[in-house]
Amino acid sequence: MNKTISLDQLPPQIENLLRASWEGHESLVLEHNGKPVAAIVPMDEYRKWHPDEGENAFEYELPTDLLEAYHKLVDKKFSTGLTPQEEVELTQLDQHLNDAEAAQPLIQSMQKHAALRDENWEQRFEEIVTKLRELRELM
Tens digit of each residue's pLDDT (9 = 90 or more) over 97-134? 777 777 677 666 777 777 777 777 777 778 888 888 88
- In a domain, residue 35? The reply is yes
Phi, psi of 33 (to 5 degrees): 55, 40
Is residue 44 assigned to a domain?
yes
47-62, pLDDT tens digit by residue? 777 666 554 444 556 6
Nearest-angstrom CA–CA distance, 35 and 89: 44
Mean pLDDT, rounded, for 34-42: 82
Total tally of structural domains belonging to the chain: 1
Cα distance between residue 102 and residue 109, in whole Å: 13
Q: Is 31 contained in some domain? A: yes
What is the extent of the structural domain holding 35? 9-51
**Residues 127, 132, 135, 137, Cα dihedral to 10°:** -100
CA distance 110 to 106: 6
- pLDDT at residue 57, as a whole number: 47
Where residue 85 falls among pLDDT bands split at 50, 70, 90?
very high
19 domain residue, yes or no: yes
Residue 22 lies in a domain: yes
User: Is residue 83 in a domain?
Assistant: no
According to the model, what pLDDT value does residue 11 have?
75
Higher pLDDT, 54 or 74: 74
| Least-confidence region, from 12-16, 30-34, 68-72 | 12-16
pLDDT-derived band at 84 (thresholds 50, 70, 90) equals very high
Count CB atoms within 10 A of the CB of residue 65.
9
Q: What totals of helices (H) and strands (E) does the chain contain, helices first?
A: 5, 2
Q: Is 107 helix (H, G, I), strand (E, B) or coil?
A: helix
Distances (CA, A) of 91 to 67, 100, 101, 106: 13, 14, 15, 24
In a domain, 17, yes or no: yes
Residue 20: pLDDT over 70 = yes
Q: Helix, strand, coil % (nearest 5) of the chain?
A: 70, 10, 20
Kindly state whether residue 1 falls inside one of the protein's structural domains: no
